[in-house]
Amino acid sequence: MNSFFFFGEAVGYQVSELSINAFDYNCHVDLIKLLRQEGELIKLRRARQKMSELFPLTEGPEIWLEYAQYSIGGIGQEGGIEKVRSIFERALTAVGLHVTKGAAMWEAYREFENAVLKTAQLERVHALFRRQLGVPLLDMEATYAEYEEWSDDPIPEAVTQSYKKALQQMEKCKPYEEALLVAETPKLAEYQAYIDFELKAGDPARIQLIFERALAENCLVPDLWARYNQYLDRQLKMKDLVLSAHDRAVRNCPWTVGLWNRYLLAMERHGVDHQIVSDNFEKALNAGFIQATDYVEIWQAYLDYLRRRVDFKQDSSKELEELRAAFARALEYLKQEVEERFSESGDPSCTIMQNWARVEARLCNNMQKARELWDSIMTKGNAKYANMWLEYYNLERAHGDTQHCRKALHRAVQWTSDYPEHVCEVLLTLERIEGTLEDWDSAVQKTENRLARVNEQRVKAAEKEAALAQQEEKKSEQRKRARAEKRAFKKMRKAKAGDKREADDDDDDAWGGEEEEQPSKRPRAGSSLPLAGEEESMTVELGLFGRSAPTEDPPSKQKERAAAVKKEMPKVVHDSNKDSVTVFVSNLPYSLAEPDVKLRPLFEACGEVTEIRPIFNNRGDFRGYCYVEFKEEKAALQALSLDRKTVDGRPMFVSPCVDKNKNPDFKVFRYSTALEKHKLFISGLPFSCTKEELEEICKVHGSVKDLRLVTNRAGKPKGLAYVEYENEAQASQAVLKMDGMTIKENVIKVAISNPPQRKLPDRPEAGRAAGALVPRQVYGARGKGRTQLSLLPRALQRPANPGPKTENGTLQTLPGPSSTPTEAPKMSNADFAKMLLKKQRRLVWI
């Protein structure tokens, strides 16, 4: 009873999921499995039929062969032989050109004809042999030999020539067939190459076949279906074939809105009944698209189809009412269904509503309805965009009246926040041409007040942004200072470690002195623990641990040897008196061999070069920059034009040679950082976009004076560009038209160039120095231990002193007033060890 209950619940769940999305492939499979397990044969048959209606089987050679062999069973019925032949002919049309599997279909067809052979039917078998030998198939030689053996007459010369031609074609196809044979499923790349080959050859039957073979293993690849359907739409244009391929495409990949759009267009192109088109559109709405914009796209395609059905010469018609109803339903569907699922309508710019307004204004002469639609568009958050207001203004200009144009522009001046200057300019232009003096005065006053408020807002925003940037700069400076302190501390610790090891090596000799000699120096107060070097020396002398002193060379000596091996390079000294005839070249590749030889031809084009001084490190490696000295100042100025020229794949930076210490306010950056209304800043460009491609897009909106793609130091594009136009009007027009444009699947952003102010780093304070840093207390490699026991007798311990102690046993004093009136004499490791031995002898003697 419980198992039946759970079965019913599971089936109900799958059915409910399919009611939400009928194209959920996994739900269909799970439902069929459940029904098969429980033996529900009737429901199982229905479920399989439902799934087969949505997801078709691919027609492969094996299926056609089985179908043809199955049809032979009805050969005894009236007209059975002709029916079987018809099925075989359909099979040959579908898969007879299959290079590797088509031969089996030809053989089955010949066997069938031999089985029903009569004297009058010999010609049918001959015809089958001749047709097969004209098709490039695998193992054609065996078929030719079989034909020679079967035929009593010699093979005609025309058949032999056709056979040889097919053999040559087979040799061309063989590399692609071999690539498919060794490739792993789904072999998409190999099939794509094969398709390209067949498209160049131009045989429609073979092109169709290779597409079908590829789709048999890649039926869930939307791009492959799109390419196949595009070929059928443009080349073959056969109604049944085209519509069948489109139907299979949307059944295999129902989530792809592009395939549904092409299907609607194909049905309209071939005159399919309106009801069938509408039914397929409803299926598309239930296909379960993966993003909100897909629903906007399918609705737009269907609305375009309905609009083309309307005869606008009539004042009213059934088709026009259907179009208006569809527009209203589309808006309601996006608001209810799509927003509920995706939390967005997918149409923030209200493109469907804009198209409806255009239809009403231009085709129906109904400006009242168009104005109502535009009022609704503006209330959906679009009133702040200048391009939306100008779109409405142009519609009023073309199909409305001056009064409504003026009203629209006044509202635009009040609400626009992205490009108010452009809207104000359009309003003034209108009043200059068509307005009265009162209209002109009103427009001037309104635009001046609006621009004044806009400028105040921009100043406040800039101040806020500058404050945030300053805070971030301070934080960055603090992080840099902390990193510098950390590096200095590490260097100090390494230096102390090296000094300690050197002191230990020196003290090894001191232990061989006379034991009776009194120590000449006493340890400072607070030296309660022996240092690492002292402790190790004590173990050697007293024999407590049985270890001997290390004999390796200290790191300082190893560093000296390494420094001796380094190649000595002469230091390049620059004469600041020659700055006027010298340029500084940087960002050159480190791997540049013989920089002076490589760069000389470039700079000699600007004038006579006196000297090129590349900079190397102490190992002889090029550091990526150099000085180029000219004979004349004019040549040095001309050399600055070589800035950003590519050298071995990197942009070369050429700048004036200026001593920053003498001219701290000198700026190398040669581009303006102020607001330039005639220049655009473009972001979001694809990295593959070239300067020529972008210039072709930009020059449509005006005369382009200059265009610069921004790159990094390695010469790679950053997806940014600056475009300079002749005047501000052209730049404003380009912003309105290009902002939001898609270039190579990238949506770009376009704005007037107004870069943030470049901030120079603060100069370091004169009193700040790395040597003034005080390191924190250093513990062992494993940190501070929980207990630190003293290995020194209490008699030798001294009161603790808060001052820091160095690694070699001496104390390091800090600047400032001393905390003790007198300073104890310093004591070396050898003196300390002798004193310890003397104390121990006294204890033993007593």
Q: Is the pLDDT of residue 594 over 60?
A: yes
* Residues 210 and 111 placed together within one structural domain of the fold: yes
* Domain of residue 431, residue span: 385-483
Lowest-confidence range among 5-14, 325-334, 479-488, 802-811? 802-811
In this prediction, residue 828 has a pLDDT band, given cuts at 50, 70 and 90, of low
Query: Does the residue 308 lie in any domain?
Result: no
Which of the two residues, 516 and 146, has the higher pLDDT score? 146
Residue 144 CB partners (closer than 8 Å, separation 6+): 133, 155, 163
Which of the two residues, 735 and 803, has the higher pLDDT score? 735
In this prediction, residue 448 has a pLDDT band, given cuts at 50, 70 and 90, of very high
Q: What angle do CA 449, 451, 452 make, to 5 degrees?
A: 65
Q: Is the pLDDT of residue 779 over 50?
A: no
627 within 8 A of 585, measured Cβ to Cβ: yes
Average pLDDT value over all residues in the chain: 78
Mean pLDDT of the 755-784 span: 45
E strand intervals along 460-540: none
State which of 426, 448, 483 marks the end of a domain. Answer: 483
Query: Does the residue 788 lie in any domain?
Result: no
Query: Does the residue 47 lie in any domain?
Result: yes
pLDDT number for residue 845: 43
Q: Is the pLDDT of residue 502 over 70?
A: no
Q: Is the pLDDT of residue 325 over 90?
A: yes
Lowest-confidence range among 94-98, 273-277, 388-392, 456-460? 94-98
* Residues 608 and 733 placed together within one structural domain of the fold: no
Q: Is the pLDDT of residue 809 over 60?
A: no
Mean pLDDT of the 502-522 span: 44
- pLDDT tens digits, one per residue of 288-299: 888 999 999 999
Residue 381 CB partners (closer than 8 Å, separation 6+): 348
The span from the first CA to the last CA of the chain, in angstroms, equals: 100
Lowest-confidence range among 58-62, 224-228, 238-242? 58-62
Q: Which residues of 87-99 are buried (b: 16+ CB within 10 A; e: fewer)?
A: bbeebbebbbbbb
* Residues 134 and 173 placed together within one structural domain of the fold: yes
In this prediction, residue 827 has a pLDDT band, given cuts at 50, 70 and 90, of low
Lowest-confidence range among 39-53, 395-409, 534-548? 534-548
* Residues 686 and 634 placed together within one structural domain of the fold: no
Nearest-10 Cα torsion for 319, 323, 324, 326: 130
* Residues 625 and 714 placed together within one structural domain of the fold: no
Q: What stretches of 134-238 show up as alpha helix (H) in DSSP?
A: 140-150, 157-182, 188-201, 204-217, 222-231
Q: Is the pLDDT of residue 714 over 80?
A: no
* Residues 651 and 703 placed together within one structural domain of the fold: no
Q: pTM score, two decimals?
A: 0.52
Q: Is the pLDDT of residue 150 over 80?
A: yes
Mean pLDDT of the 647-669 span: 75
472 within 8 A of 759, measured Cβ to Cβ: no
Q: Is the pLDDT of residue 772 over 90?
A: no
Q: Residue 128: which CATH number?
A: 1.25.40.1040
Query: Does the residue 191 lie in any domain?
Result: yes
Q: Is the pLDDT of residue 59 over 90?
A: no
Query: Does the residue 274 lie in any domain?
Result: no
Lowest-confidence range among 47-56, 256-265, 638-647? 47-56
* Residues 114 and 196 placed together within one structural domain of the fold: yes
Domains contained in the chain, number: 4
Residue 353 CB partners (closer than 8 Å, separation 6+): 331, 373, 376, 377
* Residues 613 and 687 placed together within one structural domain of the fold: no
Query: Does the residue 329 lie in any domain?
Result: no
Mean pLDDT of the 838-843 span: 55
* Residues 196 and 93 placed together within one structural domain of the fold: yes
Structure-token match 């929980």, residue found = 786
Percent of the chain with pLDDT over 90: 33
612 beta partners: 628
Mean pLDDT of the 633-643 span: 89
* Residues 46 and 189 placed together within one structural domain of the fold: yes
pLDDT number for residue 521: 42
Q: Which sign, positive or negative, has the C-alpha torsion 11, 14, 20, 21?
A: negative
- pLDDT tens digits, one per residue of 532-543: 343 333 333 333
Lowest-confidence range among 323-327, 484-488, 525-529? 525-529
Reduce the DSSP state of residue 636 to 3 states and report it.
Answer: helix
Strands 704-711 and 717-725: antiparallel
Query: Does the residue 201 lie in any domain?
Result: yes
Write phi, then psi, for 765 (nearest 5 degrees). -70, 150
Q: Is the pLDDT of residue 799 over 60?
A: no
State which of 731, 752, 773 marks the end of a domain. Answer: 752
State which of 194, 216, 233 marks the end of a domain. Answer: 233
pLDDT number for residue 572: 63
705 within 8 A of 719, measured Cβ to Cβ: no
In this prediction, residue 683 has a pLDDT band, given cuts at 50, 70 and 90, of very high
Which of the two residues, 522 and 340, has the higher pLDDT score? 340
Percent of the chain with pLDDT over 70: 74
Reduce the DSSP state of residue 226 to 3 states and report it.
Answer: helix
Which of the two residues, 824 and 298, has the higher pLDDT score? 298
DSSP element (H, E) containing 653: strand 650-656
Q: Is the pLDDT of residue 395 over 80?
A: yes
Query: Does the residue 446 lie in any domain?
Result: yes
* Residues 744 and 627 placed together within one structural domain of the fold: no
Residue 522 CB partners (closer than 8 Å, separation 6+): 824, 825, 827, 835
Mean pLDDT of the 440-445 span: 95
pLDDT number for residue 805: 40
* Residues 202 and 90 placed together within one structural domain of the fold: yes
Which of the two residues, 558 and 519, has the higher pLDDT score? 558
Lowest-confidence range among 37-46, 311-320, 695-704? 37-46
pLDDT number for residue 570: 56
pLDDT number for residue 299: 97
Residue among 708, 721, 747, 752 at smallest CA distance from 734: 752
The secondary structure of residue 401, as a DSSP letter, is -
In this prediction, residue 66 has a pLDDT band, given cuts at 50, 70 and 90, of confident
pLDDT number for residue 151: 85
Mean pLDDT of the 158-185 span: 89
Q: Is the pLDDT of residue 231 over 70?
A: yes
Q: Residue 684: which CATH number?
A: 3.30.70.330
708 within 8 A of 773, measured Cβ to Cβ: no
